[in-house]
Structures are given as structure tokens and as C-alpha cells.
Structure 1
């Protein structure tokens, strides 16, 4: 369970850092947030991996959630476009990551002889 908490920390840190890149164009103080956010993201991601999460699953979820959250939040915060085609693309990315997670769970069950 703690691996998921670490992964959520990695996702939130990365999204905050990425959004701060845009905010930093108007106020350079945000570059400190960028640096801290990305460092924390990799620290949390490393902790999730050390806690037993598979790399492909962790990276897929981290990337997909980061893309989705950044797109939606940049639309709300910076008034950037978010078209129906973009939303569909985000849904496809999330569906792909879900398939990776389900495949990983099936492989784990098979290894343990629970199939």
C-alpha cells in the first residue's frame, strides 16, 4: 500500500513542478518550485520502486496521470485549450496504462500459481 502513496506523491510533485514551469515565465520564483518538485518526484518514484512496484506499472501510471492532471489543470489555471480530441487522447492513455496494470497483476498471479 505504501508504494501507492509514494507513487501519488511522485505524481503530485511532478505535476506541481510542471505547472510551475509555465508560471515561472511570469515570476522566476516558481523555478525554485520546479526544482524542488522534480527532485521530490524522483525521490517518491524511487521509493515506490523500492517498495516493490514494477517499473513499467509505476512509470506508466506516473506518466499517464501526469499528462492528464497537467492538461486539466493547465486548462483551469492558464486557460489553455482542452478539446474533446485531447480528452479522448487522455482517456486512451489511461486505458493503456490500466491494461498494463491488469497485465502485471495477471503475471504476478501466474508466478505465484494463483491462476
Structure 2
């Protein structure tokens, strides 16, 4: 399988565990705490598969960027976080960075 697919799955898992961490309420909500840990492990597992073929600097930057952009967008769309033009512009800059890393090989 394409290692970039593994990296995308890892990034999406990164979004999942960050959101579930919010709902774990400081690890006092047992179900969400367990969900967080499971998704964290999945994220790291898929990241490790991607790292077999993608340089670590590129993979780590893309993995964290997918997580950061995804969580920021979910926060704005579903969790009532601030939607400002500067915030959206900065998210677009991060996305541009991901594309640049992919293109640069």
C-alpha cells in the first residue's frame, strides 16, 4: 500500500484522538479516555508504517499538520470556536505547507 495512505490514516487518527481527548474531560470520562488511548495507538501505528518509506521530517510535519488543521476546522465548524479570516488564512498556509512537502518528494 502507498505509504502516503498510511500517513493520511495516521493524520486522521491524530484528529480523532485530539477530539476524543477533549471529551475525556481530563481523563475523568472513562469511555472517552479509553477511546483516546486506542486512537492514539492507531495513529502511531500508521505513522510508523509510513516512516518506513517517507523521511521522518516530512512525515512528522505532515502528520502533525493534518491533525492541527483537522482539529482547528472541527473546532470552528462543530465546537463553536472562533472563525476569523486570519485563522482561516493561517490554516490555508499550513495546508500549503503540506502540499509543498508532498510535491518536494
TM-score band w.r.t. shorter chain: 0.7 to 0.9
- C-alpha separation in 2, matches of 1:74 and 1:2: 30
- Preserved CA contact (<8 Å) 1:72 1:82: no
Q: TM-score, normalised by structure 2?
A: 0.85
Q: Which has the higher contact order (CA 8 A, sep 6+)?
A: 2
Shift >2 Å, 4+ stretches: 96-103
Q: Which has the larger radius of gyration?
A: 1
Unaligned runs of 5+ in 2: none
What does 1:1-115 correspond to in 2, within 5 Å?
A: 1-25=1-25, 28=29, 29-50=31-52, 52-103=53-104, 105=105
- C-alpha separation in 2, matches of 1:39 and 1:22: 17
Q: TM-score, normalised by structure 1?
A: 0.79
How many residue pairs end up in the alignment?
103
- C-alpha separation in 1, matches of 2:24 and 2:56: 31
Unaligned runs of 5+ in 1: 106-115
- Preserved CA contact (<8 Å) 1:23 1:30: yes
Aligned-residue Cα RMSD (Å) equals 1.8
